[in-house]
Chains A and B, each alone.
Chain A
Amino acid sequence: GAVVSQHPSRVICKSGTSVKIECRSLDFQATTMFWYRQFPKQSLMLMATSNEGSKATYEQGVEKDKFLINHASLTLSTLTVTSAHPEDSSFYICSARGSGDVQETQYFGPGTRLLVL
């Protein structure tokens, strides 16, 4: 299947700092990428849909000024958690949707564990 990478895999930071997470599609072009958050023992929650060359679409309840998304190319989307707080500690996962796939399957990155102290 298609390969999606995320970097970093794990981040520990102090409260108030900003953290940038990169999501890359390695062997296909992804016009759309998705950012999810998963708290322990809960399901994935879609935060936003990232479209190459346009503004991201945020889900209800997700602050766009806090979670900045940039989808600058067909293979890279970034999520920046600004002024992170302990309640932002979570597992952040991106996914990318390949073009040309009728089913439009999503392929997930390995995720980034964020711990805000």
Chain B
Amino acid sequence: RKEVEQDPGPFNVPEGATVAFNCTYSNSASQSFFWYRQDCRKEPKLLMSVYSSGNEDGRFTAQLNRASQYISLLIRDSKLSDSATYLCVVRGNFNKFYFGSGTKLNVKP
């Protein structure tokens, strides 16, 4: 079983839509959680850390559910520029970071 699993998508949504991604992780002892964004042929860029209480940054909201071992990312009012691959990243034992394979989002005009 993979440490981190994501639906690869693609999610095709119109501009202005709300879209949500989930990511599950297998290690209940995982310590930190992140969402990264990766554009085609570019390096991943940190989008936001995910805190136990949930956190919001503008149109982006991240939630952590430790009991069910998943994290989520909600994007409201999607923009064309939100089109990218969203990577779920989990820090596990021995400070190792585990990456999901990414969820591709296409925002259409």
Contact = CB atoms under 8 A, between A and B. Distances in A.
- Do A and B come together as binding partners? yes
Contacts of B87: 43-44
Nearest to B95: A104
A47 B39 CA distance: 21
Contact of A93 (B32, B43, B97): B43
A46 interface: yes
Contacts of B36: 108
Chain A CB within 10 A, most for which of B49, B89, B97, B99: B97
Interface in A40-90: 42-44, 46, 49
Given A103-B32, A103-B49, A108 B97 contact: no
Interface residues of A, number: 21
Contact of A108 (B32, B45, B101): B45
B105 to A, nearest CB: 15
B44 A46 contact: no
B97 A46 contact: yes
Interface in B52-109: 87, 89, 91, 95-97, 99-102
A43 B34 contact: no
Contact of B101 (A42, A49, A107): A42
Contacts of B102: 43
Contacts of B99: 43-44, 46
A43 B44 CA distance: 11
B101 A111 contact: no
A104 B43 contact: no
A100 interface: no
Nearest to A49: B96
A108 B43 contact: yes
A34 interface: yes
Given A104-B32, A104-B95, A106-B97, A44 B46 contact: no
Task: Identify the 5 closest CB pairs spanning chains A and B, nearest first.
Answer: A43-B101, A108-B43, A111-B43, A103-B32, A44-B99
Interface of A: 1, 32, 34, 42-44, 46, 49, 91, 93, 97, 103-111, 113
Interface of B: 32, 34, 36, 41-46, 49, 87, 89, 91, 95-97, 99-102
